[in-house]
Amino acid sequence: MDTDSAREGIKPPRSLWALLPAAAGFAAGFFGPIVFVPEANQGPLVGIFITGPGGAALGLLLLLVSRLAGLSAGTQWRLLLGSSAALALGTLFFVQPGPVTRGWAVELRVTGCFRPASLTAATLDYWQKRVDAVTWAEPRSGWREDMTGLLAADDGSVLEAETLRENEIAEKRKPWNRGRLFARGWTEKKEKRVYYLAGPAGHCADNPPGTRKFYFSPYDVSAARSGPRTWPPPETERFINLRGLGGMPEEYRRFLPRP
């Protein structure tokens, strides 16, 4: 007797109704995030706490329905296998990564511009207060001298500007659309902010008050999954705690408004 014939006469064991969907849900919910969203540290918990137990509950519910409906052995096997496969596929679809933000195209009207070195005293004072308040982590050695020299030599600038509008640019990450860039659309802001503009685009001579330009403000994707950083941070924009700006990358220029 072949397997299909046997299934026609032998109904699935009761324990299998709970175990098979639970195993399918657990495997898809545990390993799916590890494969597709490795930066999500808590992703595998989907299988442990949701789709694994949910699969067991679904299997027991289907067992009850199949028994009450008097389904044949073959139909019960098809229902059990089909529902387990559907649960696994549905879970894998559910855990697919969403788009990741790459940054923002911003339109600014410059109201003031000065060198990062002008913030040295205030920034050192800010970080010294933080260092004094933290007792569980040592700051990096010589940070005051390092950052004083870094700010003095930095060829960027600090822009005081009115943010007129911005457009979030993101990248899709599902297997069938991975790498596709899109913009969420321009939103009016009309707010005053202070930015750090990296050189060589950051010279104040190129950004006099009244200048209206488009810049790109990148989003550090790795920051969400990186471990504790050296502190105080050695990068200028993190040290002076300002949102960074740079020139508009060529691949993002198509999202700028048409002249």
Q: 94, 129, 154 — which closes off a domain?
A: 94
Could you give the number of structural domains in the chain? Answer: 2
Q: Among residues 22, 9, 19, which one has the least CA distance to residue 75?
A: 9
pLDDT of 225 strictly over 80: no
Q: 94, 112, 130 — which closes off a domain?
A: 94
Q: How confident is the model at residue 77 (pLDDT cuts 50, 70, 90)?
A: very high
> Can you give the pLDDT at residue 39?
81
How large is the average pLDDT for residues 64-78?
94
User: Could you list the residue range(s) of the whole structural domain that residue 176 is in?
Assistant: 100-255
How large is the average pLDDT for residues 213-224?
80
What tens digit of pLDDT does each residue of 229-239 get? Answer: 678 988 898 89
Q: How confident is the model at residue 220 (pLDDT cuts 50, 70, 90)?
A: confident
Whether 138 and 220 share a structural domain? yes
> Can you give the pLDDT at residue 229?
67
> Can you give the pLDDT at residue 5?
45
For 110, other C-beta atoms within 10 Å of its C-beta total 21
Q: 40, 69, 94 — which closes off a domain?
A: 94
What tens digit of pLDDT does each residue of 15-66 get? Answer: 999 999 999 999 999 999 999 988 888 889 999 999 999 999 999 999 999 9
Q: Do 116 and 154 meet the contact criterion of CB atoms below 8 Å apart?
A: yes
How large is the average pLDDT for residues 111-128?
94
% of the chain exceeding 70 in pLDDT: 92
pTM assigned to the model: 0.81
Pairing of the two strands 100-114 and 212-218: antiparallel
Task: Indicate the burial class of 147 (C-beta count within 10 angstroms; 0-12, 13-18, 19 or more).
Answer: buried
Q: How confident is the model at residue 167 (pLDDT cuts 50, 70, 90)?
A: very high
Q: What are phi and psi of 229, to 5 degrees?
A: -90, 160
Whether 209 and 164 share a structural domain? yes
Whether 75 and 11 share a structural domain? yes
